[in-house]
Structure 1
């Protein structure tokens, strides 16, 4: 018989919203996309540098500025600019691979999730 999921004293569970799940999926797709672009678009020695290095750089930038508990707090508009730069890089990577529609689809979902999240943060 399953137990009730009643609140346990002294245990704080984070409330995860569907928007946070979508934003996490956008980040994973962005990292995958940049890694794929790095491995596919460059010759052998440089494909390792771009395929591994670029997703790592984006992950560090995300952790520093965009994560739910960022290391460095930015003004919300600067935070949006950093986020948009990552989305532009991913969209251009898809376009460079000849998959323009995938880039547009990623941009629409990512910017839409970013706008909704930004509006919630400002209100």
Structure 2
């Protein structure tokens, strides 16, 4: 449950970053749609349980850390460092719990 909320908040964070950080309408609309779409596609290909590309634990961890840092960095870059840092910490704890559960 928490994992799904973390993923959804990460995608919404990237969309919000695209809306706030770029001039509206044209670059902002591309980033509002493009940044979360790119993150979702990368997650699907390398991290999802049904990904078409077989990836080991290290590869999955690298992809997940990159996506979490991107979403946290998006909050930091638009002037909300507390939200970004709290998100990164919650996502890290959620990732550790999920990886320990997968290892069993």
Per-residue deviation, residues 31-51 of structure 1 (Å, max 9, x unmatched): 100000001100121111111
Structure with the larger helix share: 2
Give the alignment partner of residue 65 of structure 2, picking from 68, 80, 84: 84
Residue range with higher mean Cα deviation, 112-121 or 100-109: 112-121
Aligned alpha-carbon RMSD (Å)? 1.0
Provide the TM-score with structure 1 as the length reference. 0.79
- Alignment gaps of 5+ in structure 1: 1-20
Any residues of structure 2 matched to 1:1-123 within 5 Å, and which?
21-44=1-24, 45-123=26-104
Higher RCO (C-alpha 8 Å, min separation 6): 2
Partners of 2:11 and 2:39 within 8 A in 1? yes
Per-residue deviation, residues 84-115 of structure 1 (Å, max 9, x unmatched): 00011011100011111100110011111111
- Alignment gaps of 5+ in structure 2: none
Provide the TM-score with structure 2 as the length reference. 0.93
Point out 4+ residue stretches in structure 1 off by more than 6 angstroms: none
User: How far does residue 120 in structure 1 lie from its aligned partner after superposition?
Assistant: 2.3
